[in-house]
């Protein structure tokens, strides 16, 4: 991607430093040392990195709400203008956060009927009787031992967007328990087709060979459904080589999204993203068998979320570390 050996080295160093803040990749080094390394490296190499990402990112805001300490999923609201939905990773209760593009929390809502074991991603898609629904992926499985993997669906709440820091509860969520046909995997990516309701998940693999699985519709509440494996996507290293913890981390998927018109789908890792075109009559599962476009994402400590802006002309990302940046990337 880069011709200059020095610039390539700079980018590799950035990749290493960015992953140092991910707890599972910190080896024999204190968090304080990692933070200092990040600060120094960002000052030294930020310009080279900025030239290499697909488009110049813009920091919209730093999230005001310190309760959003691990923003693991992100999606645009279909019912509330200018609102984004996010949630924390494991360790939080079943809370949804609605925020605006200024980083202000509009509402914190308890999801009735749901448990946050390890929520990793969120999407918006078609619901019952034409009302948009939120799909929450409780598929995090770091130890590959969970037998309670669940996708939740709930009617998207309608909010008063003129107020901030509202509290409340959602309509009751419906649980759709799932399991894999061929093993027990970690997963941080859920994709929902905005027109057909097709649900696809992409597993998180250190090898970079992520399994693609489809939920066999129709949805069946409270029944454990076996996902159907429909393919595999390979995520390759851009900076690192080999099989070190950092190199494996560069290949691990951490989130994904489908554009509102259903014609693009994206899956990210900690440092980069792959994007596929989706034909009007094509399924997401088939689209992911095609040739993707690869590009870098803005440097952020433990970046795990991504979504399209509603008009499809930009991407939005957050991070699982405080202070949490809300970044927009022209697209």
Which pTM does this prediction carry?
Answer: 0.85
| Sheet strands side by side (includes 209-214) | 187-192, 199-203, 209-214, 228-234
End-to-end CA distance of the chain: 19
Q: Rounded mean pLDDT of 289-294? A: 96
List, in order, residues 6 or more apart from 82 with CB less than 8 Å away: 100, 101, 161
Pair 190, 199: CB distance under 8 Å: yes
Token look-up 């939080």 returns 92
| Sheet strands side by side (includes 174-179) | 121-125, 133-138, 150-155, 174-179, 225-226
Pair 199, 149: CB distance under 8 Å: no
Pair 138, 151: CB distance under 8 Å: yes
pLDDT of 129-186, one tens digit each?
999 999 999 999 999 999 999 999 999 999 999 999 999 999 999 999 999 999 999 9
pLDDT of 71-100, one tens digit each?
999 999 999 999 999 999 987 899 999 999
| Sheet strands side by side (includes 264-269) | 253-258, 264-269, 272-277, 293-296
DSSP lists the bridge partners of residue 108 as: 97, 167
All domains in the chain, ordered by first residue: 53-330 (2.120.10)
């Amino acid at each position: 991607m880069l011709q200059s050996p020095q610039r390539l080295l700079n980018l590799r160093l950035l990749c290493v430093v960015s992953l140092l803040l991910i707890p599972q990749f910190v080896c024999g080094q204190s968090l304080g040392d990692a933070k200092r390394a990040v600060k120094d490296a960002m000052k030294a190499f930020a310009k080279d990195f900025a030239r290499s990402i697909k488009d110049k990112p813009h920091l919209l805001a730093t999230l005001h709400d310190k309760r959003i300490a691990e923003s693991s999923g992100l999606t645009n609201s279909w019912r509330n203008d200018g609102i984004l939905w996010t949630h924390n990773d494991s360790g939080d209760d079943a809370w949804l956060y609605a925020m605006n593009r200024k980083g202000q929390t509009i509402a914190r809502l308890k999801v009735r009927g749901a448990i946050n074991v390890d929520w990793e991603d969120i999407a918006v898609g078609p619901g019952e009787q034409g009302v948009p629904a939120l799909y929450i992926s409780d598929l995090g499985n770091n130890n590959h031992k969970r037998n309670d993997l669940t996708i939740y669906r709930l009617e998207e709440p309608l909010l008063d967007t003129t107020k901030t820091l509202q509290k409340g509860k959602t309509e009751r969520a419906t649980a759709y328990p799932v399991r894999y046909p061929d093993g027990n995997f970690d997963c941080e990516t859920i994709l929902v087709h905005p027109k057909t309701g097709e649900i696809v998940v992409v597993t998180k693999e250190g090898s970079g060979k992520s399994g693609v699985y489809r939920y066999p519709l129709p949805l069946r509440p409270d029944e454990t459904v076996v996902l159907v494996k429909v393919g595999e996507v390979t995520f390759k290293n851009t900076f690192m080589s080999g099989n070190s913890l950092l190199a494996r981390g560069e290949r691990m998927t951490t989130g994904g999204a489908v554009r509102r018109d259903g014609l693009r789908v994206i899956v990210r890792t900690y440092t980069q993203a792959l994007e596929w075109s989706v034909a009007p009559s094509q399924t997401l599962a088939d689209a992911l068998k095609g040739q993707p476009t690869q590009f870098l994402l803005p440097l952020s400590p433990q970046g795990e979320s991504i979504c399209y802006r509603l008009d499809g002309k930009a991407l939005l990302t957050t991070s699982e570390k405080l202070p949490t940046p809300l970044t927009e990337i022209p697209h």
